[in-house]
Every structure is written in C-alpha cells, then in structure tokens.
C-alpha cells in the first residue's frame, strides 16, 4: 500500500509530465503553425532564403518520381501513406537562376496520380519523345527541413540519376514542401497541446487543494475545533446561551409534568387532598358503607360494622 505523501507526489509528477508532453508536442509541430501565415510563391523566391515554417506555393511541371513513402498504421492496420516526390523548381522570369531540386510531400491519392503523370511527361521530354513538359500544377504547403532519413533517400535518388556530391551541393536544397499540413491539422495540434497542458495543470491544482484541505482539517482537530465537541448545542436555544426555556424536557410544556395531562399525577393529587370519599367509592365494591370502625370479635371470628356483628359469611 502506498503512503499518502507518495500518492500526492506521484499525482503532481504525473501532471507535470502531461504538461511536458504538451510542450514537446507543440515544439515538434511548431512549423505547422505556418499554415495560418501568408502564402509565398516559392518559384519566384528561389534566390531568397525562405524561412522554415513559411506557407508556400509551388508550380510543378517536372518531377523525377517518388523516392520515399511513409505508412501510417493503427493497431497494425495501414490507415494511410505519405509520398515524397523529387521535384524540379525554377523561376521562368529569372533564366539565369539554375534549377532547384527539393522534396514535395503529398498524401491525397489525386495528388499522387498527378505527380506520377508529371513524372512520365518529364522523362518523355528528357528522352526526346515529347517536345514539352507537362502543364504546371500548383501545390501549397509548409516549408520544412528534411529529416535525416528522408535526406538520405533523397540523395540516394539523386545519385541514381547521375548527380554527384558537387551537383547536389549546387542544385539541391534539403527542404520539404509539406502539403499534408493544413489549417485544420494545425488547429488539431493546438487542441492536443492545450488539452494535455490543461489536464496536467488541473491534476496539479486539484492535488494541492486536496492536500491543503487535509492539512487544515488535521490542524483544526489538533486545535480542538471539533464540530462535534465545540459546535452549537442543538438542545440549547438559537443563541446558544443555555436558556432552558426551549427545552421540551425542562419547561412546563412537557405533558408528563403537567397535571392537566398526566392521569397518574391527577390520582396522586387526589390522594394528597384527602378525598376519602372518592377513595371509598373506589374500594367499596360490595355495596357496604365501610365508614365505621372495624374490630375483631373473640366469639365467632366475625367483624362488627357500625356496631353490627357480621360473621365470616357476610351475614348480619
């Protein structure tokens, strides 16, 4: 069995842990907040250093296929898949600016099909079987830094296409345009963070309040403030001044103390007043007047009532 102090400390630590999880969740999803920002055309800003977390739009008319996928599973069941495409971006208004290779992350099936179609058109153009690239398609997302594993797959794909380290250093930018981040997902992230922090704070506050309440009760008991000892006496009056006039067992309203209601008290009063006639009526059940003297006789063992002798058989 755990001691109360250990339970209190555990509850506080648990609340703090929930707060920490909420903060970490927010930090790891901080770039998703860019979904609420202003959208920047990345094609026309390739010469500039666009900050991570910025919401951008890109015009894609050339890509070199899907170089990585990320599966989402729940209880071992596949629930979705993100695809990473290697895209080629350029600014048509700046012909001196070289092409830039980046990663584009998509989730929707329609977007995957569109990018696969653009990839086919790109290789047809490079092989000379087509005279033009595919029609450009606009994608919007949040600019993020590539994770280490994604970057490894990206560089491996570039190597397969014949690029060396110097080429990649010149033409590649290791950023991902994440189209899976929307205002809806950003709001969800905020709600998760706030929920975790709120629960953690609530656990800590409720634990501290319960602890303080217990300490106050213990202190009150130690000081003698026991409501069952020092509290108001319900048998005294409302002001608790010891006035017994409100005590039904002390004042004259007690029916067992009032002679008008107590039949046993009435008979006692009758006896005290010497009402002999009433007592004689109660005793004289044989119809005789027993007001005379009663004396023993020596001859017959009978009695003399008012000077008349009566034998034991009540015969005169």
Q: Cα–Cα distance between 168 and 162 in angstroms, integer? A: 10
234: left (phi over 0), alpha (psi -120 to 50) or beta: alpha
* Whole-structure pTM value: 0.56
For the chain, give every domain's residue range.
37-181
Output the pLDDT for position 59: 93
Q: What is the pLDDT of residues 150-170, one digit of tens each?
A: 999 999 999 999 999 999 999
CA 160 – CA 163 distance, rounded (Å): 7
44-69 confidence digits (pLDDT tens): 888 887 888 888 999 999 999 999 99
Structure confidence at residue 280 (pLDDT): 43
Element (H, E) at 263: helix 263-272
Residue 231: pLDDT band with limits 50, 70, 90:
low
């Amino acid at each position: 069995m755990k001691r109360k102090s250990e339970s209190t400390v555990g509850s506080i630590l648990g609340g703090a842990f929930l707060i920490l999880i909420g903060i970490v969740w927010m930090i790891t999803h901080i770039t998703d907040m860019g979904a609420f920002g202003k959208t920047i055309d990345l094609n026309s800003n390739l010469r500039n250093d666009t900050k991570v977390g910025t919401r951008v739009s890109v015009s894609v008319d050339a890509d070199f296929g899907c170089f990585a996928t990320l599966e989402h599973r729940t209880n071992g069941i596949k629930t979705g898949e993100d695809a990473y495409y290697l895209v080629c971006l350029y600014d048509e208004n700046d012909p001196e600016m070289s092409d830039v290779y980046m990663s584009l992350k998509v989730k929707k099936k329609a977007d995957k099909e569109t990018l696969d179609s653009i990839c086919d058109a790109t290789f047809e153009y490079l092989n000379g079987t087509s005279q033009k690239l595919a029609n450009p398609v606009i994608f919007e997302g949040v600019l993020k830094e590539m994770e280490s594993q994604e970057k490894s797959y990206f560089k491996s794909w570039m190597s397969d296409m014949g690029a060396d380290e110097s080429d990649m250093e010149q033409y590649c930018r290791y950023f991902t345009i994440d189209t899976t981040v929307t205002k809806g997902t950003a709001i969800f992230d905020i709600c998760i963070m706030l929920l975790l922090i709120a629960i953690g704070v609530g656990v800590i506050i409720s634990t501290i309040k319960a602890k303080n309440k217990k300490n106050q009760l213990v202190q009150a008991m130690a000081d003698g403030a026991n409501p069952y000892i020092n509290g108001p006496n319900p048998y005294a009056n409302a002001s608790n001044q010891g006035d017994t006039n409100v005590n039904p067992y002390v004042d004259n309203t007690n029916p067992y103390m009032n002679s008008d209601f107590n039949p046993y008290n009435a008979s006692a009063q009758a006896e005290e007043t010497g009402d002999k006639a009433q007592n004689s009526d109660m005793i004289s059940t044989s119809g005789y007047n027993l007001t005379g003297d009663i004396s023993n006789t020596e001859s017959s063992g009978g009695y003399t009532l008012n000077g008349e002798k009566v034998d034991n058989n009540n015969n005169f």
